[in-house]
Chains A and B, each alone.
Chain A
């Protein structure tokens, strides 16, 4: 786990960055919108100033005295315009201009003049290509100057001031957006960090839970509502683990106890036999008895290993479509003698097919049948039934005998669980048969259950049918 920590993202950092980005983007967007409005307004004003200027000239130059004044005192007009960004020419087409005011030495634009009869408005202002990054607006018009005839007037202006205002505005927008983004990122970081405090507290608590204190639970007090499902789920998991752990411990203990009996028999019998010289027959008897105990140990070992094997994929991959009637008949055949010895007769019926691993199915059924015969009453039938349904097949093993008290039923499938602890320590039983059945059914994603009432005990297995693609 720790190997991959390197490129794992931090939730806090990510949220802080997202906050910052969102703040920056939204503030910038707002700034840009306002900027556009401002820019449009400024352009409008500048254009209006140009229009006003031409309008004034139209009125002004109608007077021949003024023309005279232009010729004699052009400096007056230069002063009138007041700055280096303005440009003004007055002249007759085809002749040298009467007046050129161009303190900034700007390049003279060549514009078609607005006709005399056309009232000037904002749309007549030409926005020329920028000049060193500064917009340049110009307006040309024909003017009637009475005796001088028609004159052409060109007024233009380099918008340096406007550019400066807008630049400063832009800078402010970015500055504000950046500062806000940084502030939000910081506060987001702090908030998320604080918000995750309960998680770190839970982690600390969880780290403290060990085999020794498995019954301790995570404390949900003070935890935010969002964390409650996780805490509950974690505690539920601890419940299950705790239960499994107790069971596992119990199984180990039980197994050790189960091993005691055969080992004790082996040890005792052999030691007693070695106490003095005995006949060949006695030795043979001893060895045969040892073999019996050893076989019992081997079987137990085999069963324990079978139960410990948790890989269901290999079992599932070996499933086959088995004929239910044939399998039930096989069980009846196998147990025919044993049942007859117990005075029972077997009724096997079935139809449909079972989707199962054959050896596991037979092992499960054999365990149920041998139990049923062991606890069945004489002169009663042992019924082995297979009933197909839409989604699978139900197998039942039903015998007549003593009713199993209800409190034992849920625990029957546990390892080494015995209804009567003292009675059943026979060589034939090792208390694992039903837990093997349970394991086999889990491997098949099936179900198992037992019911017992009025002297009839019925074990039921459900094998799900073959699904498409299996």
Chain B
């Protein structure tokens, strides 16, 4: 995946560059709006991460000019939590937004969603090592043993299995599994993951759900 990051704040630009490169993406970093616009028009990017508040040419202006010539997916970053601001961004043709502060895992998840081309076909059968998930019958077996899950435990496992290898943040899990789109003060997600582990990981040697300290969880065959 080829990503352009337009961010004038040096620390933020650096960590976005490093973080995304470490995940194996090709990343270009522009330190101001003019550079960003130039790069965006010269090269072919899969997705653009655009900071809104920049001196001289701000993010809105970059977006406005970019949209005249290209329809590269754009995710904008804003520190202003106004509905008007968000609406403005989406009206100008942005595809998604994140409000600062945001979790890095959340950003990665959003970028993946934006670059996923076309509707993904829902798999009816998922297989991860010896774990089998029958999505239609909502039936889960591991090493031939039938495992009974509650509805939400199943939804959580399904989310993990369809995002194998990705780090999922707690807020993303809460939003996808329970449709709770706000940062809750509770550790509901941790509790739910622990209870899921109890059923699908604890009795077996190979662990599938891994905690990523400070970020969230990863579902993978590799530790």
What residues make up the interface of A, taking CB atoms closer than 8 Å to B?
284-285, 287-288, 290-292, 294-295, 298-299, 301-302, 305, 314, 330, 333-338, 340-341, 359, 362-363, 366-367, 370, 428-430, 433
Contact = CB atoms under 8 A, between A and B. Distances in A.
Interface in B183-223: 183-188, 191-192, 194-195, 213-215
A430 B185 CA distance: 8
Contact of B213 (A288, A370, A428): A288
Contacts of A292: 214
B183 A337 contact: no
Contacts, number: 70
B92 to A, nearest CB: 19
B29 to A, nearest CB: 23
Contacts of A298: 101, 183
- Among B81, B179, B184, B192, max chain A CB count under 10 A is at B184
Given A292-B214, A334-B188, 19 more contacts: A288-B214, A290-B214, A291-B215, A299-B183, A302-B81, A302-B183, A305-B81, A333-B151, A335-B186, A337-B194, A338-B191, A340-B195, A341-B191, A362-B180, A366-B180, A367-B185, A370-B186, A428-B185, A428-B186
B195 A370 contact: no
B218 to A, nearest CB: 14
Interface bracket on B: 20 to 34
A301 B81 CA distance: 11
B187 A428 contact: yes
A401 B101 CA distance: 37
A372 B152 CA distance: 21
B69 interface: no
Given A288-B214, A305-B81, A337-B192, A366 B184 contact: yes
A337 B195 contact: yes
12 contacts: A287-B213, A294-B101, A295-B103, A330-B178, A333-B152, A336-B152, A337-B191, A359-B181, A362-B179, A366-B180, A366-B184, A428-B187
Complex A-B, nearest 6 residue pairs according to Cβ-Cβ distance, in ascending order: A291-B214, A288-B213, A288-B214, A337-B191, A370-B186, A334-B178
B182 A370 contact: no
Nearest to A333: B152
If over half of B's interface residues share one DSSP class (helix, strand or loop), that class is named, otherwise mixed; here it is loop
A336 B183 CA distance: 18
A359 B174 CA distance: 13
A79 B199 CA distance: 144
SS class, residues of chain A in contact with chain B = helix
Contacts of A295: 103, 183
A250 B118 CA distance: 53
A330 B155 CA distance: 13
Contacts of B150: 333, 336
Nearest to A314: B83
A336 B101 CA distance: 29
Contacts of A334: 152, 178, 180, 188
A330 B181 CA distance: 13
Contact of A284 (B103, B178, B182, B213): B213
Contacts of A285: 213
A116 to B, nearest CB: 104
B181 to A, nearest CB: 6
Contact of B185 (A291, A299, A340): A299
Contacts of B152: 333-334, 336
Contacts of A430: 185
A290 to B, nearest CB: 8
A428 B189 CA distance: 13
B167 to A, nearest CB: 13
